[in-house]
Structure 1
């Protein structure tokens, strides 16, 4: 099931309105335990397709297109921030009458979860942060500088090829070459608004809450991949060390997008963590 809902835009743009596309899968009762899935830079609900069959067995699952991406059409303002993204999601969940939820965020989506845990701590029963971070690091910023340079040169084709290199392990790319070529051809014909993409890159590049991590009491699983090309796995170690109720799980294989490359192992890891929380409750 899916629908659209108006949501308030954010504290700096309170008079603006946007339409957030969302989808609800699995259990339909509003009282069912709920997982909210938040994607990375691409912002697309469909990123989580490999999780739906497993997650919907025991949960109501909400996915959404982040504002300015895919079906959530709109132009992002100057100085757009992760705080704006968190406010937009909080407004959507309020519209859907979600009182509490488990939150799973990948990369930028994890940053949204961290910000929500600071601004709306009562909303989150748990956090799963997948290859996320709490402050900029030189390696990841270099990767995004190259992305920005390709966009400036209007090399969208090369941007998409680089994207695959940053997301997936080399052997997975080799084994899925034809699929990636078809996907990249489709994405090239449906390339996102470049100004919005640059605004989102600027927002994640500026995000820095290192000093606030000890304040986050939400039970948290930080998932990292040792073969992540984009984000050093030690960034997840930083989260687990600084957050009082966080634990770290490091996967040996999967790249930056292990939810796609090794979905069975990823799904098992997340669901077992959520099950342990339910047993403690």
Structure 2
């Protein structure tokens, strides 16, 4: 696997990649993925930015402790502490999926840490969790999740999340599958979906309306998992925001159109030199 750095946040060891020199950017992934999801984006932006891609608690190469809070609120606090310990503020904040929800919390609670905000196929409001996560959250199903999660099921889920099917290669599936190869990895995923809760994002709606950070909202037009209502309402609620729709891109837009979203992100981040 790729080279990682590690930092202790409280009792847990958090993995992250750090590449490039220049303006600092933190990249936050969502459910079913980890920092590798940003690899192609990092390659496109590394000439101009210092990019920090973090594995959330319970994901990728980060610790996966049992019985610990993996909620988006707890993840946001972990990332705030990581930013302070690494002394990398102020920086550009970019989140995808649940990472977008975590980014909304960070941006509204700690705006002075950030230059601007980019939300990519982000969760929001009460429109999530979505299938198949909602089913996996049922106690009886959750007890079975570790045994039923397998490469075939993962391929089926990814098949709906990636528009360009030729990109869904065995190598890509193996990267997604990597954390699930161990009992600890599967247990971490189960704990993560158990802790997912939309209450906090519903509660911060007014805070979004008061947010002063410039915000770029990107949606893959073929996202089969998250409602377009999320992006539309975020644009309506966040005062200084803009909306970019990427055609022929699914939920994992970093896989479908990495160069296009890298260009959108570069142009946006360079507006605030």
TM category (shorter chain) comes to: 0.7 to 0.9
> Which residue among 7, 12, 20 is the counterpart of 2:14?
20
Matched residues in 2 for 1:226 and 1:151: separation?
Answer: 34
- 5 Å-filtered alignment, 1:1-281, equals 2-8=4-10, 17-27=11-21, 32-77=22-67, 80-137=70-127, 140-148=129-137, 149=141, 152=144, 154-157=147-150, 158-169=152-163, 172-174=164-166, 176-180=168-172, 183=175, 189-190=181-182, 193-210=185-202, 211-212=205-206, 213-278=208-273
CA contact (8 A) 1:99 1:123 kept: yes
* Cα displacement string for residues 228-262 of structure 1 (whole angstroms, at most 9, x for unaligned residues): 01112221111110011111111111100111111
TM-superposed CA distance for 1:182, in Å, is: 5.0
User: How many residue pairs align between the two structures?
Assistant: 263
CA contact (8 A) 2:209 2:238 kept: yes
Task: Out of 124-133 and 151-160, give the one that drifted further.
Answer: 151-160
TM-superposed CA distance for 1:99, in Å, is: 2.2
CA contact (8 A) 2:57 2:70 kept: no
* Cα displacement string for residues 73-113 of structure 1 (whole angstroms, at most 9, x for unaligned residues): 13153554211101101111111111200011110111111
Matched residues in 1 for 2:159 and 2:195: separation?
Answer: 22
Please state whether the residue corresponding to 2:252 is helix, strand or coil. Answer: helix
Matched residues in 2 for 1:129 and 1:135: separation?
Answer: 14
Alignment gaps of 5+ in structure 1: 9-16
Task: Return the structure number with greater relative CO, CA threshold 8 A, min gap 6.
Answer: 2
Matched residues in 2 for 1:77 and 1:188: separation?
Answer: 18
- The structure-2 alpha-carbon separation of the partners of 1:246 and 1:135, relative to structure 1 and needing over 3 Å to count, comes to same
Alignment gaps of 5+ in structure 2: none
Please state whether the residue corresponding to 2:74 is helix, strand or coil. Answer: helix
Task: Out of 193-202 and 39-48, give the one that drifted further.
Answer: 193-202
CA contact (8 A) 2:218 2:246 kept: yes
TM-superposed CA distance for 1:189, in Å, is: 3.1
TM-superposed CA distance for 1:191, in Å, is: 6.7
For 1:14, the equivalent position in structure 2 comes to none
CA contact (8 A) 2:179 2:186 kept: no
* Cα displacement string for residues 202-245 of structure 1 (whole angstroms, at most 9, x for unaligned residues): 44343443433212221111111111011122211111100111
TM-score (norm 1): 0.83
